[in-house]
Amino acid sequence: MKMQAAFWYGPERLEIEEVDVPQIGPDEVLVKIGVALTCGTDFKLFRKGHALLVKDIPSPFGHELAGTIVEAGAHVTRFKTGDQVVAANSAPCGTCFFCEKEQWNLCENLEFLNGAYAEYIRIPAQIVRKNLYKIPSHLSFKEAALTEPLACVLHCMDRIGVKPYETLCILGAGTCGLLFVQLANLYGTQPIVVGRGKEKLEVAKKLGAKHTVSILDPEFKDKIKNLTSRYGPDTVVDAIGKPETWQLAVELVRKGGRVWFYGGCVSGSNVSLDTHRLHYDEITCSGIFHHTPAHFSRALQLIASRKINVAELIRGEVRLNDLHQIFQKGNLDNPMKMAVIP
């Protein structure tokens, strides 16, 4: 049997091709994709490749998905043909050095799953065992497919451990920025959101940002200070992933505050940091990457309880054959999420 699938051939080269439907092993399932969502990471990968996600070229493409099981391997007992499911794009092995330290997101054997921009996808055994879930019947594929990015943001929010009386500043009003806003509200705090597009900042306000500040405003740094008793925010999260925004995060945070680098920069990026700020001002900086099975499961529960506004995050639909349209040049700067329908 043949299917249509997207492949990445190198910077800004994407092809839709007819290939064989994947064969599955006894511990795997075959999913007919209902919806795949575009993600900022995919846009970064499209332009420059990705250190962890691309193993071979041509590479399958797309990683946020929900669909229907059309074949289950002989050893699979928890799922059957016809189940509607959402799969994470990886699962930890549970036995490596990092898994033993319970740093599941840093597992050496994550085996990232790409290939959601296709008609079918093979879900590897490790994901079937640890990071595949049936979708509650009241949820659409579109809503369920948002589980992966929400799991990443939830992971970060847990690590931040934000207190309701503390000020949280989010750099970026893209999908993840807007998920941060919604989760922050669930955690009892209304963040300040710093972004570029007027429309996105309005959405941030609507979803629960206490204040929004445009980075295009020459006074924006002063504005943030004025909103945070002149010292700066207690916590700043970079949800953009550019060297300049990482530096901005360090510049904005208050003395003794914390910076979380949530957005990954393209491979090979370097950032210079003001040692005075780190040493004398005692700023704590940390990267935060990916998700864990516990966060993936909780993210799906949050979506199922309709605590996350999905409609504001997914802006439209595109057919798989028209995928080029959204990945073309000029369209790449911080696009909103789209649902890709095979």
Closer residue to Zn ion, CB minimum distance, 41 or 212: 41
Dist. CA 98–CA 180, nearest whole Å: 27
DSSP class of 104:
G
Helix axes 147-160, 175-186, angle to 10 degrees: 50
Who contacts 167 (Cβ-Cβ below 8 Å, separation ≥6)? Answer: 189, 191, 192, 227, 228, 233, 234, 235
Contact 124, 113 (CB under 8 A): yes
Closer residue to Zn ion, CB minimum distance, 5 or 179: 179
Dist. CA 140–CA 300, nearest whole Å: 12
CB of 175 to Zn ion, least distance (A): 8
- At residue 168, φ and ψ (nearest 5 deg) are -120, 130
CB of 216 to Zn ion, least distance (A): 27
Dist. CA 282–CA 274, nearest whole Å: 11
CB of 295 to Zn ion, least distance (A): 13
One-letter amino acid at 259 equals V
Who contacts 244 (Cβ-Cβ below 8 Å, separation ≥6)? Answer: none
Closer residue to Zn ion, CB minimum distance, 29 or 88: 88
Dist. CA 5–CA 199, nearest whole Å: 33
- Chain residues that interact with Zn ion, rule: CB under 5 A: 39, 41, 92-93, 96, 99, 107, 149
Dist. CA 29–CA 145, nearest whole Å: 17
Closer residue to Zn ion, CB minimum distance, 41 or 189: 41
Closer residue to Zn ion, CB minimum distance, 93 or 266: 93
Residue 258 corresponds to which tokens in the numbers above?
């914390």
Closer residue to Zn ion, CB minimum distance, 39 or 236: 39
CB of 244 to Zn ion, least distance (A): 22
CB of 127 to Zn ion, least distance (A): 13
Closer residue to Zn ion, CB minimum distance, 195 or 241: 241
CB of 263 to Zn ion, least distance (A): 12
One-letter amino acid at 130 equals K
CB of 132 to Zn ion, least distance (A): 17
Dist. CA 26–CA 165, nearest whole Å: 51
Contact 192, 168 (CB under 8 A): yes
CA 245 to chain centroid, in Å, comes to 18
Closer residue to Zn ion, CB minimum distance, 114 or 212: 114
CB of 2 to Zn ion, least distance (A): 27
